[in-house]
Structure 1
Amino acid sequence: MHRTYSMRQSRAPTASQIENPPPPPSSTKGGRLFGRSNFGHAFRKGTAGAFGPDLAKKLSQLVKMEKNVMRSMELVGRERMEVAQQLSLWGEGCDEDVSDVTDKLGVLIYEIGELEDQFVDRYDQYRVTIKSIRNIEASVQPSRDRKQKITDQIAQLKYKEPNSPRIVVLEQELVRAEAESLVAEAQLSNITREKLKAAFTYQFDALREHCEKTAIIAGYGKHLLELVDDTPVTPGESRPAYDGYEASKAIIQDCEDALTNWVSGHAQVSSKLSTRARTLSQRRKNNASKRGEGVDLAGQDQPMKGDRDSWVAATEHGEIYQHGQDEDEEEEEEEAEGEHEETNGESGGGLSLMQRIGLQSKE
């Protein structure tokens, strides 16, 4: 009997993919400099923030740690697919009912591995957005350093040469530096809030879809288990002939339909605020509206560029910012050279569950 965990080829987009098109593949799915060992994890975490502006060091470490998380999730998804194939192989030598059910269970578990692979891609949207905050922090650091440098020069001159005419010049430069820093800090504050909300929206939407679809698969998996006759038999007694092939196919078809038609608007799990939480949230919203709109600094800011990595030209920040901006790109290029062959053949598209089940009839 040909097992149904066979290689996957093409699959029509699901309703959720039409509603929210999938992102490009995660940057962690390329080659790896340190292979699949934990050494790469420790190296990235240990060196994160070692270089670059002080302002961006903490967020640099967070970005690197999230990359470790994504690498781990990628490994889990790949190994889950291998487990699904092994389960189907083991069941091949069992009785007909166990063989059929384990075969279909392997299909479902393989599907969970595919979902985890898709989840990594969407999780990368969150990481990239957080990384853009890091780059903006790095761009603000030079204005802080310049203001601090001028302040130190003025203090030194007042101590050594209180009557030096250069003090007046430096004080004028300090005024300009403080104005520049004020605009930069305001823009950093605004963009940080915007990007933070966008980043975790990506993460929570991806988590919700992944968990809902995993729950759907788990539910249909339990329906498959009902096809296994676990009634004890006495020695020498034979079990009734298994007649659940069509039923197992129908369960897989229902599962595929449920996964294909799932959209966020049909999510079964919803988060409902308590009365106290709703009251406090509304009170805060009302208080914010009473305080007024405040001072709008948008007109004082430089126009934003098309990219999201900086708010002024990178050439104005010197080598230290350029190093921080290129840090991840250099690492990814090195890793791509180190393990390009390792990942060849491990990724695939998606054959529908029922197309794979169709192979069942081949003896």
Structure 2
Amino acid sequence: MFKVGIIGATGYVGCELLRILINHPSVEVTAISSISFEGEEFSSIYKSFYKMTDLICKNKSDVIEKCEVIFTALPHGLSEDIANECLAANKICIDLGADFRLTREDEYKQWYGKEFFHKELHSKSIYGLPELNRDKIKTCKIIANPGCYPTSIELGLLPLLKNGLIDGKNIICDSKSGVTGAGRGLSQKTHAAQLNGDFAPYAVGSHRHIPEIEEILGTIAKEKINVTFTPHLLPINRGIISTIYTTPKKELMSYKFNSNIDISQKISSDKITYKEIKSDKIDLEEIYKLYCETYKNEPFTHVLPIGETASIKNVAFTNNCHISLHLNHRCDGIIVVSAIDNMIKGAAGQAIQNMNIILGINETEGLNFIAPAF
């Protein structure tokens, strides 16, 4: 059994990590820490853990000393020192914060207001999106677990960008998240009276995930990428759905409609069949085949059949990402819909997936969840 620990265990992400790790067959949660609740039993903070664990929140040094794998579920700016200690002790640090997600210090300073204090560590870390960096993750000891919104968007766009099929200067990402994405701390916007019955965008044009999204998409595409990213807060506990609007590169794709078909009538009646759409080079079925081929060996990323639409309900409480593909018939665009659970594939589950890869155990171990049917 591998010994693992959580620093920042009493936040929502830390709690979700512990919930999954307690039942993981190959690891033992040996120590946890919390500044706010040091000395208290975890089950006294979250009553759902009553009789499920006797772990007591201690300090971070206790976690680093006793564990082989350390998860840091902390606000940005607090994980660099811990990662440095872990590396010095030849231990693995999986950071669920933002400290290692950006490679450029000037970008990190601009968006997070902090500098890299241990600059040498950043060249030794890797961005922990398994579908992109699995081979590099296997040999790394500092993992930057991706952000929740970026995970949904990057998985949604990876096949199109990897194959150079869309214009990287005109990508619109319209994303919605459950309130757990805002963390455990209370704020005016997450107060029940404010949230209930409401639905609104926030951090319009200025969300901190923008540089992460653009950097990783640029790495995939091997060119500079610009996105318009607008997050929205849903009045639900968990889940993210991203609707991504893209424009095919004209030299690679052009769509033509059969002149004998009344497209407007078929769209309004929801009876359009994609086989009735003629394409000079690539049609939706070809794009669908590309996505299926890209993700055929991925245990958690699933492409839905043409005509179906990804939804939060079908991925809730799982480590899955559901992707659906659609055509924008009016302007020959490709619309990608990507759904994940922000607390699992967008945070704790993906971190454990990274741990499994590093430890050389089955990547799906401890993560084979099925979404509740109702």
Instruction: Flag whether TM exceeds 0.5 (same fold).
Output: no
Larger of the two Rg values belongs to structure: 1
Bigger strand fraction: 2
* TM superposition score category, shorter chain reference: under 0.3
TM-score, normalised relative to structure 1: 0.18
